[in-house]
Amino acid sequence: MFRPIISLISLTLLASSVSAEVHDFPPDFQMQDVQVDDATIHLRVGGEGPAVVLIHGFGDTGDMWQPLAADLARDHRVIVPDLRGMGLSSHPEGGYDKRTQAGDIRAVMTSLGTDHAVIVGHDIGTMVAYAFAARFPEATDKLVVMDAPVPGIPPWDEIVRNPLLWHFDFGGPDAERLVAGRERIYLDRFWNEFAADPAKLDEATRAHYAALYARPGAMRSAFAQFRSIRQDAEDNRAAMATKLTMPVLAIGGEKSFGANEAAVMRNAAGDVTGVVIPDAGHWLMEEQPAATIAAVRDFIGKAD
């Protein structure tokens, strides 16, 4: 009868000592923490050249970008934050709307002396990346969005009714109690259902992220990311009145958003290139890293 208690203690110890990375970033990448208003943002910075900011989503952290960061750092300065309330960043009470988090990213860039960058986002990171481009167009050289809807951008009303997105409205104290000690079970649902091949998310990857999401306050913050989406939709409907003018790359996994990613972005931007990654579900960097890296690098390298 003591097994559940032992398991919970083991998970707590793992969460408290979890390493910062599931795969090692190149040795020249430095980790640091930047204070932005009410949050402390953990980030990795490496490479030299034009700046690129890589913004992760739910179910992972900035660690997901290691293969792309290593490639881009050959000729770019690569900035990889953990969003507020996620990974090794702090867990403030609020500010999980994507417009505020775009401000976090801008403050991080300013602290690093970076005036403008290519902004890349996946999942919730796509929502933050769009909010950044809409709020700070002068600081956005190019925008890359990967396999996620953007709240409020058509056909949002149809997308949000998809039963697979029930988690958008899941959260609060009772949900936190339900998931506490069962973070791995909850996360496995996303890794399994949203992947073309769940085996591509290996055990080491799953254990690493499950430990990070088991840290104190992590699931409350993760739920807050989703529960702010109604506010994000209102903010984006207002922002959409002015279409983005910078070049946009919209990447979808063949077994996930596919070409719909570009269709969504064409409602919000005037210069959109669409790419579909074959044999990939939602987890593009884990499922098809080589093809995803090639698509991003090709887009970044093109002249405007």
Tens digit of pLDDT for each residue in 221-239? Answer: 999 999 999 999 999 999 9
Q: How many CB atoms lie within 10 A of CB 175?
A: 17
pLDDT over 90 for what percent of the chain?
86
Sorted by where each begins, the domain ranges of the chain are: 3-301
Q: Taking 80 as the threshold, does the pLDDT of residue 8 lie above it?
A: no
Taking residues 82-111, report their average pLDDT.
98
* Virtual torsion, Cα 245, 134, 191, 201, nearest 10 deg: 60
**Amino acid residing at 205:** T
Q: What is the pLDDT of residues 289-303, one digit of tens each?
A: 999 999 999 999 976
CATH node for 3-301 = 3.40.50.1820
The structure's pTM equals 0.92
Q: Reply yes or no on whether the pLDDT at 11 is more than 60.
A: no
How far, in Å, are 42, 159, 246, 299 from residue 272 at the CA level? 31, 20, 9, 11
In the DSSP assignment, the letter for residue 137 is G
Average pLDDT over residues 255-283: 98
Residue 164 burial (10 A CB sphere; 0-12, 13-18, 19+):
exposed
What pLDDT is recorded for position 4?
Answer: 29
What residue has token string 């430095």?
30
Alpha helices in the chain, H assignment, sequence order: 3-16, 66-72, 98-111, 124-135, 156-159, 173-179, 183-193, 203-213, 218-227, 229-239, 260-265, 284-287, 289-301
Q: In the predicted model, what is the mean pLDDT of the chain?
A: 92
d(CA 85, CA 97): 12
Residue 275, pLDDT > 90, answer yes
Q: What is the pLDDT of residues 13-49, one digit of tens each?
A: 333 344 445 778 999 999 999 999 999 999 999 999 9
Q: What is the pLDDT of residue 97?
A: 98
Q: Is it the case that residue 261 has pLDDT exceeding 90?
A: yes
Is residue 52 within 8 A of residue 108, CB to CB? The reply is no
What average pLDDT does the segment 75-92 reach? 98
Closest residue by Cα to residue 130 from 57, 192, 37, 199: 57
Ordered strands of the 117-122 beta sheet: 30-36, 39-46, 77-81, 51-55, 117-122, 140-146, 248-253, 272-277
3-state secondary structure of 161: coil
The per-residue pLDDT for 257 is: 96
Residues 183-191, mean pLDDT to the nearest whole number = 97
Contact of 123 with 191, CB cutoff 8 Å: no
Q: What are phi and psi of 249, to 5 degrees?
A: -110, 125
Give me the pLDDT at residue 279, please: 98
CB 149 within 8 A of CB 264: yes
Evaluate if residue 7 carries a pLDDT over 50: no
